[in-house]
Structure formats: structure tokens, C-alpha cells
Amino acid sequence: MKLNKTELKEFLDEKVNKYNTIDFIESDPISVPHKYTQKEDIEIAGLLAATISWGNRKMIVKNGHRMLDLIGESPYDFVMSHKKFQLERFEGYVHRTFNEIDLIYFITALRHIYKNRGGLENVFNAQSTANSLQSSIHYFKQVFFEIKHPVRTTKHISDPFKGSAAKKINMYLRWLVRKDNKGVDFGIWKTIKPSQLSCPLDVHSGNVARKLGLLNRPQNDSKAVEELDTNLRLLDSVDPVKYDFALFGLGIFEKF
């Protein structure tokens, strides 16, 4: 599909308006943090839901809600004040390769971050640059695993410095940073700007981006994210990742 820049922007803006609506929430993992209103509850529920966001979308949403139902009404209160015996409630929890061992460590690491590192927003902001959060994601992984941890759990946090597209973390950051005024993305982190975000890149968005000439690199890796970011920022330098809705919608709903 060959479009000039103006036509491409008009086409994608139309798709953003179509899919960036509250109707999008119910069938998406973002529905999990939407159960909460307190900043820290949204942050924690969002990170957990994003972490298991691979595979069948219905199962992701189902298992995300199940995980947070086990945690309880306030994820932040549970993280900060749970007793060791309360972790037994996670026995048998599993989503693909993410299981109770991983979930228990996530709870432990989150407590460490809130007690000793100033919270999730502070950690992600610490290494941010003017037009990228990829260093922030690398740093977040370092902080997340700086206390004693199961080796198996490290695979559940991606690192762009190791070549990963880090799709799940980039999606999570979109949720927390981008304020869309449509009721989908939360925009509760004020120290990071939407212009610093990277588009969550997966098989579907990657294929659509290539068909539209936004991406040439064949692999969905950190270099592809950088290329896609560069091209999306030419279309909207202030809110480039709004086009995630367009690429996702075209790929998933329209089989573009």
C-alpha cells in the first residue's frame, strides 16, 4: 500500500480515532488495571497484566483478572503489607510460562521498589532521555532483579539493550504515560512525556508497519522499534505511540 506522508497520516489518524475508544478496553489487557483508581494500584496491576500479555488475548485478559482477584482489592496494600503465608494463595497460578514462582517474586520485587527505590515511576524516569525510554527499560530490569531472585523469572522482563523489542514493557509505559482523553490510556505518570514512548512492536503491528512503509527491518527487535519510532514521530512528534492503536487495530481486527 503506497501512500504519501499526508495520506498515510490521514489514514492512520482515522484508524486511531476508530480504535482509541473505551470499547477497546474490555477485550484488552488494559482492562485489568482499569479495575483500580489509585495510582499505585494501577501501576502494579498494569505491570502484572502487561507481563503476561502474550498468547491468546482472551486468556491474557482472563488470567490477568484472575491474578488480581487473588491479590485483592488493593494491589499496593498487598505488596507493601502482606505476610509470607498470604503468598500461598498463588499456588497453582499459571499463564503459559509465568507461574506462582514468578508472581511471588514480582510481589517481592515491587515491595523493594516502593520501599527503597521511590516507586515504579521514579525508576523508569531515572534513566530516561529526551526521546527514548529504552535505557529506562534496561535500568528497570537491573533494579527489578537487584535483590535475590529465581533465575527463571528474569526472562519475564525484556531488555532492549539485549536486542529485544520489549513489546510488553513499551505497552505498559504507553498505558501509564500517555493521556488520551478517551478513557483508555491512564496518563498518570507526569515525569515522562508521551513523546519519549516507543511503539509496542509485535508480529501484527510489525507486519502492518511494513505494508505501510513505516518499517523495513525484517526482525521485530530493538532496532526495528527504533526505526518505527523514527517514522511515527514524523507523523506526530508529541504523541507518536497513538499509532499503536491504528497498527494493532489494522492487524487484529481488519486482518490488514
* DSSP-based three-state secondary structure for 17: helix
**CA 120 to each of CA 13, 115, 124, 133: distance values in angstroms, whole numbers, following the listed order:** 31, 11, 6, 14
Q: What is the pLDDT of residue 17?
A: 96
Non-local CB neighbours of 37 within 8 Å, separated by 6+ positions = none
Angle at alpha carbon of residue 106, lines to 221 and 32, rounded to 5°: 80
Residues 136 and 159: their CA atoms lie apart, in Å, by 10
Q: Is the pLDDT of residue 160 over 90?
A: yes
| Chain centroid, CA 245 distance in Å | 13
Q: What is the pLDDT of residue 255?
A: 85
Q: Is the pLDDT of residue 25 over 90?
A: yes
Lookup result for grid cell 500479555 = 53
Q: What is the pLDDT of residue 2?
A: 77
111-136 pLDDT, tens digit each: 999 999 999 999 999 999 998 999 99
Q: Is the pLDDT of residue 159 over 80?
A: yes
208-231 pLDDT, tens digit each: 999 999 999 999 999 999 999 999
Q: What is the pLDDT of residue 40?
A: 98
- Mean pLDDT estimate for the chain: 96
pLDDT bucket at 3, cuts 50 / 70 / 90 = confident
201-211 pLDDT, tens digit each: 999 999 999 99
pLDDT bucket at 169, cuts 50 / 70 / 90 = very high
Q: Is the pLDDT of residue 188 over 90?
A: yes
Percent of the chain with pLDDT over 70: 100
Q: Are 250 and 256 in contact (CB under 8 A)?
A: yes
Q: What is the pLDDT of residue 197?
A: 98
Lookup result for grid cell 507523523 = 235
